[in-house]
């Protein structure tokens, strides 16, 4: 599956959908980004059930700022609308495949309960 170009207008819709979404934050001038690009593309081809998206940080500075991208490349993984991974730095192919495998195996029911509990605590704190 080809990667999708994500923008401020399309980002939320893509990452909030069901399933796994990998997002690569990059820029054309970034050497490590260029080294990581074919690894990301190969993973995209090998995992057609996963959405692979790319955000050009130069073209989407507001999105990059909102997500606190301070170093590129940065990889984020979302599963069922929940961000489950974020890390700066290019990854070798086997490490990326391992992350994908781990994302597939996540106990999402437990993670959803944890997220809901954290949101409830934040709401309580805001009301006080």
Domains of the chain are: 4-127 (3.40.30.10)
Rounded distance between C-alpha atoms, residue 22 and residue 15, angstroms: 8
Tokens (6 digits) for 62: 């507001």
**What are 17's two structure tokens?**
């959908």
pTM score, two decimals? 0.88
The helix/strand/coil state of 100 is: helix
Per-residue confidence in pLDDT tens, the chain, 128 aa: 678 999 999 999 999 989 999 999 999 999 999 999 999 999 999 999 999 999 999 999 999 999 999 999 999 999 999 999 999 999 999 999 999 999 999 998 898 888 888 888 887 777 77
Active-site residue, selected from the candidate residues 20, 21, 23, 30: 30
Q: What is the DSSP letter of 7?
A: -
30 is catalytic: yes
- Identify the pLDDT of residue 97: 96
For 40, which DSSP code?
H
Is 51 among the catalytic positions?
no
Alpha-carbon distance values, 26 to 73, 91, 96, 102, 127 (Å)? 5, 13, 16, 23, 39
Catalytic residue among 15, 20, 22, 33: 33
45: its two tokens: 């081809």
The predicted structure's pLDDT at residue 55: 97
């Amino acid at each position: 599956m080809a990667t999708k170009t994500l923008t401020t207008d399309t980002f939320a819709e893509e990452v909030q959908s069901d399933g796994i979404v990998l997002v690569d934050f990059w820029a054309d001038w970034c050497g490590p980004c260029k080294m990581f690009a074919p690894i990301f593309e190969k993973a995209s081809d090998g995992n057609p059930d996963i959405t692979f998206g790319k955000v050009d940080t130069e073209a989407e500075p507001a999105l990059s700022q909102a997500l606190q991208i301070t170093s590129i490349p940065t990889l984020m993984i979302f599963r069922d609308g929940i961000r489950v991974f974020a890390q700066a730095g290019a990854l070798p192919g086997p490490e990326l495949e391992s992350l994908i495998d781990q994302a597939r195996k996540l106990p999402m029911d437990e993670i959803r309960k944890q997220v809901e509990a954290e949101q409830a605590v934040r709401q309580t704190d805001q009301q006080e």
